[in-house]
A and B are shown apart, each in its own frame.
Chain A
Amino acid sequence: AQRVTQPEKLLSVFKGAPVELKCNYSYSGSPELFWYVQYSRQRLQLLLRHISRESIKGFTADLNKGETSFHLKKPFAQEEDSAMYYCALEGSQGNLIFGKGTKLSVKP
């Protein structure tokens, strides 16, 4: 089965605190994983993909095949990071399989 699990519906942190948004996946083969972000009233947009190994807006995510995880991390959260974050897996048909999302709330 191809599945993405984001165990936290809501994550609330204070500004400047570290953030880790959890994502676990189920996929046979080599997965392609992504993080998407949806700010309030804005379009869903790609934040990063594991292949590029980039750091976008201070966020990084490392693919851990042993733990089947792709957690999103940022060392110091900012208020403007408040948004919905979706982990996604590219399915065998080339479509995206989304997790249920985690709402990140960064408090001042």
Chain B
Amino acid sequence: DTEVTQTPKHLVMGMTNKKSLKCEQHMGHRAMYWYKQKAKKPPELMFVYSYEKLSINESVPSRFSPECPNSSLLNLHLHALQPEDSALYLCASSQDGDREVAFFGQGTRLTVV
């Protein structure tokens, strides 16, 4: 299994909703990442987890809350989002020792209405 699986593929939520994005990998990777990608732009790093501990938070607003319940799972909890948060949210993973981000999920297309 060389895949990073993200669910859901699409999500529409209101500004008062609470929702979660999920990411799963079974490659034994110990580093996992959340990226945000706006249309026709490169991905922007949001969070990095290394060995299930948050190691990088790129000054992301608190309405985005990451969680790493175990080494295979990464969640992104969403609350009180704004329309400008609409984007493609990409999860990725890598061998922590190698540190290259080689595997991306297909992303969750989020629309905030």
Residues of chain A at the chain B interface (Cβ within 8 Å):
32, 34, 42-46, 49, 84, 86, 90, 93-96, 98-101, 103
Contact = CB atoms under 8 A, between A and B. Distances in A.
Assign chain B's interface to a size class.
20 to 34
Interface of B: 31, 33, 40-43, 45, 48, 50, 55-56, 90, 96, 99-107
Given A32-B100, A49-B100, A94 B48 contact: yes
Q: Which 7 A-B pairs have the closest CB atoms?
A: A98-B42, A94-B99, A43-B106, A44-B104, A46-B102, A96-B101, A43-B104
A45 B106 contact: no
Instruction: Describe B's contact surface by its main secondary structure.
Output: loop
B43 A98 contact: yes
Contact of B41 (A43, A96, A100): A100
B44 to A, nearest CB: 8
Nearest to B94: A94
7 contacts: A90-B99, A90-B100, A94-B50, A95-B48, A96-B43, A96-B101, A101-B42
